[in-house]
Chains A and B, each alone.
Chain A
Amino acid sequence: MSAVAMDSAAAEKPPEARRGWPATRILGWTLMLFWGAVAGGIVVYLVEVWNPALFDRYFPAYMSGLWVTLQLVLISIVIGAILSVPIAYGRMSSNRWLGGFAYGYVYFFRGTPLLAQTFLIYYGLGSFRPQLEAVGLWSFFRDAWYCAIFAFSLNTAAYQAEILRGAIQSVSKGQWEASKALGLDRLKTLRLIVMPQAMLVALRPYGNEIILMIKGSAIVSIITVYDLMGETRRAFSRTFDFQTYIWAAIIYLLIVEVLRFVTERIEGRLTRHLVRR
C-alpha cells in the first residue's frame, strides 16, 4: 500500500512550470491587456466627463434609488420566504390537489418572465378596478410600488419554495427515521434535525436568489418605480450623458460582488466542520 503510494508520488512529479511564451500565455496576456484597456478607458472616460454639477444633482438621486432597490429586494425576499413555506409544503405533500396547486404555482412563476408577471399585476389588475374598489384593495393595486412588491414576492416565493424543497429533500430519510426512533415528533424533527442540515445546503441558492432579485429588480423602472435603474434612466433621459449608465453598472456590480463575498464567507464559516484537514 505504502509502496504504491510512494511510487505514484514519485511518478507524479509536479509538472515543470512552462517557460517562455506558449500560445496560451500570449492569448491570456492579450486578453488581460484588453481588460486593462477597457478598465483604463472607463476611468479615463469618467475623468474626462467629470462634471461636479451633474454629480451634485444626481448623487442624492442615485442614493435614494439604491435605497429603493434594497428595500424592494429585502421586503420581497422576506414576504417570499414566508409564502414559500406553505408552497414547499404543498410540493412535498402527497395530497394530489395540494401538490397540483403548488406545482402549478411554481411552474407559472418560474416559466414566465418577471416582466410579464409585473405587467399582468400592475396593468392587468386595472381591468378589475370596480371589483377591487368594492373590496377596498384598489388603492393598493393602483400604486406601482405596491404592485412591484406584490409581483416580486409572488415570484421569489416560487423560487424559494423550490430551494426549500430541494434542501429538505437533500437530508436523508435515515435522519427522519432515527429521530422518530428517539421519540421526537415531526415538527421537532424538522426544527432540530432536518432544518439545520437543510439550511447549509440552501445557503448558496438563497444567496444566488437574492442576487437574482437585485438584478431582476431593475425592471421595476419600467413601471415607473424610481429604483437605482429608474433614477439612472431619468438622469440619462435628462442629460443624454452616457456616464449615468456607467455609474449604475459600477454600483450594481459592487452590490452583487459584496453579496457573493458575504455568502461565501458565511458558507465557509458554517461548513468549517465539514472541511477535512
Chain B
Amino acid sequence: MDSALTLLSFGPDGWGDNIALGTLITVCLALATLPFGLVAGFFVALAKQSGEPSLRLAGNIYTTIFRGLPELLTLFLVYYGGQIALQALMRSLGQETTIEINAFLAGMIALGVMFSAYASEVFLSAFRAIPRGQYEGGYAVGLTGFQTMRLVVLPQIIRIALPGLSNLWLNLLKDTALVSVIGLSDILRQTGIAARVTNQQFLFFGIACLVYLVLAIISSFGINAIERSVAQRGAPK
C-alpha cells in the first residue's frame, strides 16, 4: 500500500501531478464545450419548433446525424476529416503544408455538435411544455417577438430544461474520455501512461474511474445548487 501512495504522490516519484493536470484538461474541455453546445442546441431547437417546414427539416437532419453517429466516429471524422479538408484547401491555394488540427479543438467541436444535438431535443420538449398563451400574453402587452422570447419564454425554458441538461452535462464529462484516443492528455491518457510505465494497471485505471466519479459528484452538487436558485427565482408567487 505504501508503494501505491508513493506512485500517487506529487513530485518526481509520483504521478499525482500528471493526473491532476489530466483532470484539469478534462474539466477545461468539458467547460469549453458547454457554452457552445448550449447555444447551438438552443438555436437548433428554435429551428425545430419554427412554423417554417424547411427550417424544421434542416434542424431534424442535424439531430439525426449527430445523435446517430458513434461518439468516437464523430471525433475521428472531425479530427482526420478536418485535417484532410484543410490540407486540400491549402493545396488549392498553392501551399504544400502539413496541418495538424489541435486535439483539444477537434474534441471541442465533436463533443459540441453531439451535445447540441441532444440539447436541442431537451430544449424542444421544454418549448412544447410552454402554452401558447404565454406568447399571446407577451404579444398582448406589446412585447416584440424577441422580447417575448427573452423575458417570458426563456426563463421558463431554462427551468424546465435544467434536469435534462444536467444529464447531458454528466454525459459530456464522460464523453471527454474519448479524446484521449486522439492524443489529448486528459485523465485517461495520463493514467494510461502511468499504468504502462509503472505496470500498475489496476491501480491507475481505478484512479481514473474514481476521478470521474468525484467529478460527477461535484457536478451534482453544483447542479443541485443551480436548480435550487432557479426554482427560487422562478417559483410562482
A215 within 8 A of B: yes
199-252 of chain A: CB within 8 A of chain B: 211, 214-219, 221-222, 229, 232-233, 236, 242, 245, 248-249, 252
B178 contacts A31, C-beta separation under 8 Å: no
B70 contacts A252, C-beta separation under 8 Å: yes
Closest to A256 in B: B68
* Bound-state Cα–Cα, A35 to B47, Å: 14
Main secondary structure of the interface of B (DSSP, over half): helix
* Bound-state Cα–Cα, A124 to B73, Å: 25
A192 within 8 A of B: no
Knowing A28-B50, A112-B174, A116-B209, say if A245 contacts B58 (CB, 8 Å).
no
A32 within 8 A of B: yes
A111 contacts B213, C-beta separation under 8 Å: yes
CB distance from A177 to the nearest CB of B (A): 30
153-184 of chain A: CB within 8 A of chain B: none
A221 contacts B201, C-beta separation under 8 Å: no
A252 contacts B69, C-beta separation under 8 Å: yes
B51 contacts A120, C-beta separation under 8 Å: no
A188 within 8 A of B: no
B201 contacts A126, C-beta separation under 8 Å: yes
A113 contacts B188, C-beta separation under 8 Å: yes
A139 within 8 A of B: no
How many residues of chain A have a CB within 8 Å of chain B?
49
* Bound-state Cα–Cα, A214 to B52, Å: 33
B202 contacts A245, C-beta separation under 8 Å: no
B99 within 8 A of A: no
Number of A-B contacts (CB under 8 A): 139
CB distance from B173 to the nearest CB of A (A): 8
Closest to B176 in A: A113
How many residues of chain B have a CB within 8 Å of chain A?
49
B70 contacts A215, C-beta separation under 8 Å: yes
Closest to B200 in A: A127
Knowing A111-B212, A236-B80, say if A28 contacts B52 (CB, 8 Å).
yes
Contact of A128 (CB < 8 Å), options: B61, B73, B181, B202: B202
A215 contacts B71, C-beta separation under 8 Å: yes
B144 within 8 A of A: no
B134 within 8 A of A: no
A64 within 8 A of B: no
Per-residue CB proximity of B57-75 to A under 8 Å, as 1/0? 1100100110111111100
B64 contacts A257, C-beta separation under 8 Å: yes
* Bound-state Cα–Cα, A232 to B47, Å: 34
B73 contacts A117, C-beta separation under 8 Å: no
* Bound-state Cα–Cα, A29 to B56, Å: 10
Contact of B84 (CB < 8 Å), options: A25, A219, A242: A242
* Bound-state Cα–Cα, A31 to B44, Å: 11
Residues of chain B lying within 8 A (CB to CB) of residue A232: 73
* Bound-state Cα–Cα, A253 to B117, Å: 14
Knowing A252-B69, A252-B73, say if A245 contacts B52 (CB, 8 Å).
no
* Bound-state Cα–Cα, A229 to B178, Å: 14
Residues of chain A lying within 8 A (CB to CB) of residue B65: 253
CB distance from B12 to the nearest CB of A (A): 24
Closest to A251 in B: B73
A119 contacts B188, C-beta separation under 8 Å: yes
B205 contacts A229, C-beta separation under 8 Å: no
Contact of B76 (CB < 8 Å), options: A35, A217, A245: A245
Knowing A28-B52, A108-B213, A111-B213, say if A221 contacts B72 (CB, 8 Å).
yes
Residues of chain B lying within 8 A (CB to CB) of residue A34: 58
Per-residue CB proximity of B79-104 to A under 8 Å, as 1/0? 01100100000000000000000000
B213 contacts A112, C-beta separation under 8 Å: yes
A24 within 8 A of B: yes
**19 interchain pairs (CB within 8 A)?**
A18-B51, A25-B52, A25-B55, A28-B58, A34-B58, A111-B216, A113-B174, A115-B178, A115-B180, A115-B188, A120-B205, A123-B195, A123-B201, A124-B202, A124-B205, A127-B201, A233-B76, A245-B80, A252-B69
A interface residues (Cβ-Cβ under 8 A, vs B)? 18, 22, 24-25, 27-29, 31-32, 34-35, 107-108, 111-117, 119-120, 123-128, 211, 214-219, 221-222, 229, 232-233, 236, 242, 245, 248-249, 252-253, 256-257
Can you name 20 extra interface pairs (CB under 8 A) apart from A113-B176, A252-B73?
A24-B50, A24-B52, A27-B55, A28-B47, A28-B55, A28-B57, A31-B54, A31-B55, A32-B57, A111-B216, A112-B174, A112-B213, A119-B205, A123-B201, A126-B202, A127-B202, A229-B70, A242-B80, A245-B80, A248-B73
